[in-house]
Amino acid sequence: MNTKINLAGIEMKNPVTVASGTFGYGREISQFFDLSKLGAVITKGTSLKPKNGNKPPRVCETASGMLNAIGLQNPGVEYFAQNDLPFLRKYDTKIIVNACGSSVDEYVELCKILNTLDIDGVELNLSCPNVKEGCMAFGNTYDGVKKVTTEVRKVLDKPLIVKLTPNVTNIAEIAKAVEDAGADGVSLINTLLAMKIDIYKKAPVLANVTGGLSGPAIKPVAVRMVYQVAHAVKIPILGMGGIINGEDAIEFMLAGATAISIGAGNFIDPYTSIKTVEGIENYMKQQKIEDINEIIGAVK
């Protein structure tokens, strides 16, 4: 049975990785299982300089999901390179850094540094809905995505995956911009822009007013978008959005995803990602599938 896949030039032992911002830099979850069991680890969104994040409350629960407006709090790329990267490197897994910035220059500067590090790829974050500048502001137009991706491509030799926001009218068109700019893969979806109101305080629950919705609640939207993007571009897709088990993962792969990420599922059970690996293997056994690659995009 083969579970190996190739995501945008990154050879993964299985198609399961974790969504940025739901796994830190791996230390916390490494208490629970050996990170080498994952196909790859995708880091917390990391920027050129440290970011403090938004005011609390930053998270709240919603129906089969949650909202977050963390605001990309992270220690910056320098700290990552010195402290977290050596830790992650101890594991036999691929390391993909989620890279965020507030201007084209910042993305480029950051990716110049990332290009020199011992990492396996970059996931360019053009989709965080919770910061004032950058990210989703680039990610919601064809031109914005193409511009940032093109500039980053010039300085980055490593596999480049661009993470898209679902908060657009036509996700296929945005994915096309990624492909046209020469990136190696596309990942989707980031969170859906959302809001919750405390009816007794008559005020938004989140200090940021709006936040990103994640969890099983968004899964059907994510599957639809992966399917649409799979029909629009030839580059591989990293699919995510509400995946909490093997069945969910298979659904994304049938829709066209080469690999998948576990996001909010890591919060409710630290073992969700490796249970998903097992779930995929069980499905393969049961369906007598020899090679996981057979099912990628099998739903036409």
Partner 1 sequence: MQKQVQAKLLEKVQLTKDIYHFKVKADDIVKESKPGNFVEIRVTEQTEPFLRRPISIYNLDRENGVLEFIFQVKGKGTEILAKKEVGEDIDIMGPLGFGTFKLEGRKNISILGGGIGIFPLYELAKEAKQNNMQVNTYLGFRNKEYVVLENEFQNVSDKLTITTDDGTYKQKGFAIDFLKQDIENNKIDCIYACGPLPMLRAIRELAIQKNLDCQISLEERMGCGIGLCLGCAVKKAESPKDAPEYYHVCKGGPVFQAKDVEI
Q: Does 79 bind partner 1 (CB under 8 A)?
A: no
Phi and psi based region of residue 92 (left: phi greater than 0; alpha: psi -120 to 50; beta: remaining): beta
Binding mask 233-272 for partner 1 (x = CB under 8 A): -----------x-------------------x-xxxxxx-
Cβ atoms of 231 and 186 within 8 Å: the answer is no
Q: How far is the CB of 126 from partner 1 (least distance, A)?
A: 21
User: How far is Cα 82 from Cα 169, in angstroms, rounded to an integer?
Assistant: 40
Q: Please identify, using beta-carbon distances, which residue of 73 and 293 lies nearer to partner 1.
A: 73
Cβ atoms of 212 and 183 within 8 Å: the answer is no
Q: Does 13 bind partner 1 (CB under 8 A)?
A: no
Q: Does 48 bind partner 1 (CB under 8 A)?
A: no
As given in the structure block, the two tokens for residue 59 are 């998270």
Q: Select from 16-24, 34-42, 113-121, 226-234 the region that touches partner 1 (CB under 8 A).
A: 16-24
Q: How far is the CB of 75 from partner 1 (least distance, A)?
A: 11
Closest CA to 19 of 293, 192, 271, 239: 239
Q: Does 114 bind partner 1 (CB under 8 A)?
A: no
Binding mask 170-209 for partner 1 (x = CB under 8 A): -----------------------------------x----
**Interface pick for partner 1 out of 29, 38, 122, 226 (rule CB under 8 A):** 29
Phi, psi (deg, nearest 5) at residue 219 = -60, -45
User: How far is Cα 186 from Cα 188, in angstroms, rounded to an integer?
Assistant: 7
Q: Does 32 bind partner 1 (CB under 8 A)?
A: yes
Q: Kindly list the catalytic residues.
A: 128
Cβ contacts of 259 within 8 Å, gap of 6 or more: 5, 7, 12, 15, 16, 17, 39, 40, 236, 238, 239
Q: Does 64 bind partner 1 (CB under 8 A)?
A: yes
**Interface pick for partner 1 out of 5, 15, 16, 23 (rule CB under 8 A):** 23
Q: Please identify, using beta-carbon distances, which residue of 63 and 234 lies nearer to partner 1.
A: 63
Q: How far is the CB of 72 from partner 1 (least distance, A)?
A: 9
Q: Cα–chain-centroid distance for residue 256?
A: 16
Q: How far is the CB of 263 from partner 1 (least distance, A)?
A: 10
CA atoms within 13 A on the CB side of 8: 31
User: How far is Cα 10 from Cα 49, in angstroms, rounded to an integer?
Assistant: 27
User: How far is Cα 195 from Cα 188, in angstroms, rounded to an integer?
Assistant: 21
Q: Does 61 bind partner 1 (CB under 8 A)?
A: yes
Q: Applying CB under 8 A, which residues contact partner 1?
A: 21-24, 28-29, 31-32, 44, 52-66, 68, 70, 73, 205, 215-216, 244, 264, 266-271
